[in-house]
Structure formats: structure tokens, C-alpha cells
A and B are shown apart, each in its own frame.
Chain A
Amino acid sequence: MKLTKLAAVAAVALTAASPALADLVFPSMSYRTGAFAAGGIPFADGYQDYFTLLNERDGGIGGEKISVPECETGYNTEKGVECYESLKGLNPLILQPLSTGITYQLIPKVTADGIPLHTMGYGRTSAANGKVFKWVFNYPGNYWDAASIMVKHALEQEGGSLEGKSIVLLYHNSAYGKEPIRTLEELSKKHGFKLTLIPVDSPGQEQKSQWLQIRREKPDYVFFWGWGVMNQVAVQEAANIRFPMDHFVGVWWSGAEPDVLPAGEGANGYKSANFTGTGKDYPIFADIQKYVVDTGKAAGDGTSLGQVQYNRGMYAAMLAAEAARKAQELSGVKAINAAQMRDGMEALQVTAARMAELGMPNFGPEVNVTCANHGGAGVGLIQQWDAGAKKWVAITDYISSDRSVIDPLIAEDSAAYAKENNITPRDCK
């Protein structure tokens, strides 16, 4: 009897936890616990809040309600793969694993299972080649775009020439941290700067050796590819050795509020790349406040609205929702499936006018995805930390990456992947 009751309770609980069959399922592979939670929580909140807004304000997408089942990856590759296995049964329309390590594991799986994978600003860079990576997308930019954007910013600061200058790449000693090396090597040949590579072992709590080396070598710029505690320690160490902070530029995963706040005034002037706007000065936040936060439906306590990672999560959700709309339009079906979603992603166009219509004017770069180009335009901006006001300020417009260097690298790397995995590239004509 007891067992029957337990089974009934378990069945009810499972039913309650699973999305309704007709829902459009946009899972959130989040990391709200563990060493990287400070970056994972605001992103997950932004992602979820945007979909909650669409449900509450618009009744979903095209009249179809949205559900956002969440799975905790802890930013751990094994857990991420477990999440994938448990989520794929829910018929997800899109997966965003938020980790380069998890992405590498999921690429063959999603390709076999037919589920679109969106790795916005991370993951395997050459997945931008849609001819080889049919199910993987990394618009609006990738690591190589970020490296190129950072070099372009340095070029602008140096009056158009980096000849004879020196740049240190301080990077997380992992697949993630090593991603920009190839691009920077090519760019150093093109622009004549000396590139020095300095790796930091994970987690990066102790970086004394690396910063002593930087102090000795006195580079003109330090480009930074860190994550988690490595970010806070690096910013602090840079301040300690009095490195000019406006010549210290991080990738977009090293430029959020938690990365700079612990260093206090010392972090003032530190720069990073980004591909979304910062702050709450966009009309959409009034709607999020009204329909999501004030009604008690927010994923968090509402304090992270406008933060870098929150805005990024919101932008990721907006791109997913727009792709779903496109998919509905193309297929003529409201309750789309993963294959139709993929078609929608491949035909996605988010113009400046559309973003303004969504209450997000100039919030992110325009996106134009095609069969061959899953990486978008590859643009980003540079933001700078104002320690006094405790906020990031965009100091450039959107900068385009150097396609003449990046496109051949993408072609080369994706061709090697295709050969390794016996993939015949699609014909995208």
C-alpha cells in the first residue's frame, strides 16, 4: 500500500516537473552551484526570465507556451553530458550547454540525435562552418572573432599599427583558453606584434609566477582568456603590479561584474570584449520588471537585471525565441520540432529594427545566419569597468572581426574535422 502511494506521488511529481506535451521546450543547462556559480546564475536567470516574459506578456511564441526545464551542470563536462541525456527525452528545440568542454562532447551527440546546439560566443569555433556542422551554431561571434576584435581595438589605440609591440596572451590552460592562440599567431604575423603565451593552470587561484613574468617582460598589452576565480585573481594581480589597466583586455567571459568587484578601485579601467549591451537602460527591462519580477515569477531575486551575464542570458533567449518564430513561419506549424527549429536558426535574421521592436535597441549585433555561415557576422564591442560607478561602460561601437584571417582558419579547421569524422560537407548553394 505504502509502495503504491509512493509510486503515485512519484508519478505526480514527475508529471509536474516535465513540460506539457504541447510546450515549446527550451532547456536551460545552467550552473547555479559550485565554483563557477557566480557567472552561471545571472545568465540562467536572464535566459529564464526572457521566456517567462514571453509566456506572461504574449502567451508564448505564436500562441504556443514555452517551458524551460533546468538541468544543473555545475560547469562540469560529465554532468553536462548527463543533463543532455536526461533533457533529450523532453524533445528540446535547442540546447545551450554554456561550456566549451560540454560542447565538444555534445557535437557528435546532437548531430546524431538531430537537436540544434547553440554555443553563443564559446564552444568549437569552426562550427561557424554550417556546411560541416549542420546542427551546431555559434552566432553572433566566436573566440577567434573576439581575439580579432581585441587586436583591432589595440590597433585603434596605437594609431593603426602594432609593429614592434608586444602582446601577452594570459590564458586558462584548457581547450577554452587555447582557442584564440592560432588566430593571434596569424594576426601577429599580419600586424608585426610579438605574441607571448602564458598559460595558467585551472582553477587559477595562484598566478604569481605569471604576473612576475608579465612584470619582467613589460608587454604593451595583456589579452586575457580566463574564467571563474582566474578572472578575479588576474585583475587583482594586474592591479598589484600596477599594470596599466586600459591595456589589459579580457575576452567576453572575463568581463562581468563579479570579475572586477573584488579588486575594488584597482580594477578601474580594465577592459573586456562583449557582444551585448550593459545596464538596464532598455525598454524591455520595464516589461521584465512588470510581468516577471513584480509578479514573483523571476528566476532570481531581481537584483541581477542589467548585469553582463544576465543580459547575455536574455540575449541568448531572445535569439532562440526569434529562431523559433522563424521556424513557425517557415514550417507553418506552431508546435515546431527540433528539425524545424534548426531550419529557423539557419534562416535567422535579427535586424536593428527588430531589436528595437523587441525593446532591445542596439542591445546586440545584428544577426544573419545562413546555411554556410552559422557564426553570424562576428562582431563585438569593447567595454571598460568604471570602479567608481561600479558599472561597465561600452567604449566602442560594434567592431567587425578580421574575416581575411578568420575565414581561412575556419575553413581549414572544419575541413580537418570533416575528414576526421567522415563528413561530406553540405552543398549550401
Chain B
Amino acid sequence: MPEQLLFAAEVTLNGLMAGVMYSLVALGFVLIFKASGIFNYAQGVMALFAALTLVGIQDGQIPFSHLINTIFGTEMHDFGWHVPAFLAILLALGVMILFAIVVEKFILKHLVNQPPIILFMATIGLAYFMEGFGDLMWGSDIKKLDVGLPQGISGVIDETTFDWFGYGFFIDRLDIAATIVAAILVSVLVLFSQYTKQGRAMRAVADDHQAALSVGISLRFIWVLVWSIAGFVALVAGIMWGTKSGVQFSLSLIALKALPVLMLGGFTSIPGAIVGGLIVGVGEKLFEFAIGPMIGGATENWFAYMLALLFLVFRPQGLFGEKIIERV
């Protein structure tokens, strides 16, 4: 096989894997938008907050220690224990559920029937509040996240492809893990929404709030449920991206990677988030590989948005989004 073709195949595979990482972030947006019509600006910060909380719990860090030490003149930083990864993930999930309850109680409940732009504004406020709150609670230093996920080149793939083609492909084991996790996550989400009472209620609310209310579905419970699930998805995304770069405040910027995925896949479709992620991942990587060197490189950020824009022109609702027809 010609060398350039092998390189392109390697780039494509890596693009698919990167796309899965983008999809993980986009999923959280889709879940909340689908169920409540809210574009949750805070989704990236939720991933950051979830990851900060996970590392904080794992390392036995005392929350708000800086504040406590400043006020009381103490020198407390951690409890001196290390929580196993699985238990820490469960506890972090618990915090995200608590967060969902607080958001519903103090924000969403008061904004029922408000136009979507008001709810969007509320999530902007929420994002900045959470960023500051996370800083106060866990500090702003970069933390190493280790929940036992593998990282680095996959030796098996490297050797196998070398035997086959004379060129070993690079695939990061973390990306493989992310792909498996994303597949499980999407399957569980689909099964949950199709086959459980709460899942069906969630879909009913997504279809028509008022009709759902009229048959006795609690809107408030569904919102808590949806924000909890989005919090869980944020935790998963935070783990994957945090393992890659350490847990730090720029983690919230991963939301920027999710936007073109949403524009492409549609704001209301879980499969759309996955397919959109894959198209963006492969598209930007191949473009950077083939065209990037001719035009100075660093094309990935703008190319993803250009690709999404192209899709928007021809299919405004995205690939899998619902076409909303409003009749007068």
C-alpha cells in the first residue's frame, strides 16, 4: 500500500477516535436540549466541575480548604486518605445529582414558561458561577487524574499493522477506552429512554411539556433526572479529557469542540451526536493531513465549524435533528 495511503488510514482512525471524544461532550448538550429545550452553556463547566470533584474526592482533598484556612488560620489541605477510583466516581456522581437538584430548585423552577433565550442566559450565569465555585472548592492547580484508564500507544495495533503493511499505526489506548465507554454509554442511554418508565416520561416531556404534565408526569422530577444524566455524561467526558491533559480549568473549553458536532448532528439526536462527532473528527484530521501543510496548518478549529456551516446551509436541523414545522 502506498505510504501516503497508510498515513491517511492512520489519520482517519485517529480522527474517528477524536470524534468519539467530541461526541462525549456533545451528548450532554443533546440530553438537556432534547428534554427541556435549553441550550446548556454550562455543559463544559459541568465536565470540569465533575472532574475536579472526582480528583478532589480521590485525593482526599478538603473542599474549600483555602477559604477555611484563610478565615480560621488553620493549615488543613487534605484528609490524608485516598479513595479508590470506583468509589470516588460514585461519590462524584452523587455530587452531580445534588447539583442537578440545586439547579432545578434554585434556577429552573423559577423560569418555567420563560422564553428559551432566558434559560440560555441562566445557563451562562450558571457556567461562570460554577467555574468560580469549583475554583473556591477545589483550587485552581492542575491535577493528575488517574482512574486506571490505559494511556499511550497500543502496542498490539502498532505491531499488527507493522506486520501487515510495514508501517505501525498509532492508536492511543485512552482513545480506545473512550470509544468503548461511549458505546456502552449510548447503549445504556438508549435502553433507558426506550424501556424504563422514567425514560419514557423523559421522552414524553421532550415531545410536549404540557401534554406530559396533563398525564401526571412531574416536570420537576424529569428536569432533575435529565440534569443528573447530563451530569453523569459530563463526568465521563471530564474523566476522558482530564486523563489526557490533567484536570484544569481549560477543560471547560472542550464545549467549543462540541458545538460543530451539535450543528452537524442535530441538537436533539443522541445518534446524531455520535455520528456528528465522527464526521467532525475524521473531517478535521484528514483536512489537516491533506490540505493543512499547504496553507500553514492549524486548520482543525475553523475547519470543524466550516464543515458544520456547510451542513447547516443544506440541512438546518442537522443530520438527525427534528425538523420543526410550526403552523399558524
Q: Which of B153, B250, B284, B297 sits near A228, CB closer than 8 Å? A: B250
Give the docked Cα–Cα distance between A199 and B296 (Å).
Answer: 8
Contact pattern, A 114-150, Cβ under 8 Å of B = 1, otherwise 0? 0000000000000000000000000000000000000
Query: CB of A102 within 8 A of chain B?
Result: no
B245 touches A262 (CB 8 A): yes
For B14, list chain A residues within 8 Å (CB): 208-209, 212
Query: CB of B273 within 8 A of chain A?
Result: no
Query: CB of B159 within 8 A of chain A?
Result: no
For A206, list chain B residues within 8 Å (CB): 18, 21, 257, 300
Contact size range, A: 35 or more
Q: Which of A41, A201, A229, A301 sits near B140, CB closer than 8 Å? A: A41
Give the docked Cα–Cα distance between A146 and B308 (Å).
Answer: 40
A37 touches B140 (CB 8 A): yes
A214, chain B: closest CB distance, angstroms: 10
Q: Which of A41, A200, A229 sits near B298, CB closer than 8 Å? A: A200
Give the docked Cα–Cα distance between A229 and B288 (Å).
Answer: 21
Contact pattern, B 150-162, Cβ under 8 Å of A = 1, otherwise 0? 0111000000000
Query: CB of A33 within 8 A of chain B?
Result: yes
Query: CB of B82 within 8 A of chain A?
Result: no
Query: CB of B94 within 8 A of chain A?
Result: no
Among the stretches A82-90, A237-245, A401-409, the one at the interface with B is A237-245
For A33, list chain B residues within 8 Å (CB): 131-132, 135, 140, 249
B153 touches A240 (CB 8 A): yes
Q: What DSSP secondary structure best describes chain B's contact surface?
A: helix
Q: For A198, A206, A296, A301, which residue has the most chain B Cβ atoms within 10 angstroms?
A: A206
Q: Which residues of chain B from 282 to 300 have any CB-CB distance to chain A below 8 Å in the complex?
A: 284-285, 288-289, 292, 296-298, 300
Give the docked Cα–Cα distance between A197 and B69 (Å).
Answer: 47
B52, chain A: closest CB distance, angstroms: 13
Q: Which of B141, B257, B297, B298 sits near A205, CB closer than 8 Å? A: B257
A232 touches B152 (CB 8 A): no
Contact size range, B: 35 or more
B78, chain A: closest CB distance, angstroms: 12
Give the docked Cα–Cα distance between A296 and B7 (Å).
Answer: 58
Q: For A38, A199, A209, which residue has the most chain B Cβ atoms within 10 angstroms?
A: A209
B66 touches A199 (CB 8 A): no
Query: CB of B301 within 8 A of chain A?
Result: yes
The 6 closest A-B pairs by CB, nearest first: A262-B246, A35-B250, A199-B298, A229-B250, A37-B140, A258-B142
Q: Which A residues have a C-beta under 8 Å from some C-beta of B?
A: 32-38, 41, 173, 197-201, 203, 205-206, 208-210, 212-213, 215-216, 228-229, 232-233, 236, 239-242, 258, 261-262, 264, 266, 296, 301
Q: Which B residues have a C-beta under 8 Å from some C-beta of A?
A: 7, 10-11, 14-15, 17-18, 21, 66, 69, 73, 77, 131-132, 135, 140-146, 151-153, 170, 172, 241, 244-246, 248-254, 257, 284-285, 288-289, 292, 296-298, 300-302
List 20 additional A-B contacts (Cβ < 8 Å) besides A208-B15, A209-B11.
A33-B131, A33-B249, A34-B249, A35-B248, A36-B250, A37-B135, A199-B296, A199-B298, A200-B298, A201-B298, A206-B18, A208-B14, A209-B284, A210-B297, A229-B253, A236-B244, A239-B152, A240-B170, A266-B152, A301-B77
